[in-house]
Amino acid sequence: MKSVRNAGVVVTGAGGGIGAALARRFAAEGARVVVNDLDPAKAAAVAEETGAVAVPGDASAVLPAAREALGGVIDVYCANAGVAHTGGPEAAEDAWAAAWDVNVMAHVRAARELLPGWLERGSGRFVATVSAAGLLTMVGSAPYSVSKHAALAFAEWLSLTYRHRGVDVHAICPAGVRTDMLRDAGAVGDLLLRPTAVEPDAVADALFTGMAEGRFLILPHPEVAGFAAARATDPDRWLEGMNHLQRKVEDLGRPGSPPEAEPRGRSRD
């Protein structure tokens, strides 16, 4: 991996959690960083802490201002902004639309704008925060699970299509991370994710290790590789195990049990 010193880096959803950890790590390595977040105050706070530039707003529209802030060239783009809603087919249309727009189409729009310059220069790096849900699933959240599968598929397509032309692609697929998103998951998150949750800095460390080793798949929780292998080789057994977790989640909603997590709106991974 080439050094990221003086590289122009954009991190979306960087007002907290994984995004803020990525921004801090890139800045510590000498990169010139743009911190993007829907919340201007959060973006400004992380930018001030790291010596970066805050460019608040929707992740899908950040690139023109970010490119200007970086002097015209973006070397690394971290598609980290994400949303999560609970529910299945009954989830509202706008919940499904938001999951698709933020978790998938924001990545597509960024790649559409960045690829011409990267291909001309023969270098560029696209980092997608996907989640282990993209490799496996997320009990209780169909919009999140489905859109994260799509985000992983898009990252895979970018990698297989452009790696011989100098474009490096990485898909970060953590399980539980101690962020606001995990906190908002309530009792369901406590059951499924909190026991093995890691700090956001561990995710940034895993990314830099994976970049140094030239790996596409970044697994802050190494055990996710085994779960993904089980899913691929014995899907019925894997589905039976996941259904067992589903039944545990349903038990949480019964009288005398902790309440289920409330539906969540826009947030960041």
Residues assigned a catalytic role: 144
83 three-class SS:
strand
Residue 11: CB atoms within 10 A of its CB come to: 37
Token output for 94: 């706008």
Which residues are CB-neighbours of 144 under 8 A, at least 6 positions away?
83, 84, 85, 99, 103, 131, 133, 138
Give one DSSP letter per residue of 163-186, joined into a string: GGGTEEEEEE--S-BSSHHHHHTH
- In contact, 102 and 266? CB cutoff 8 Å: yes
Instruction: Count Cα atoms within 13 angstroms, Cβ side, for 148.
Output: 27
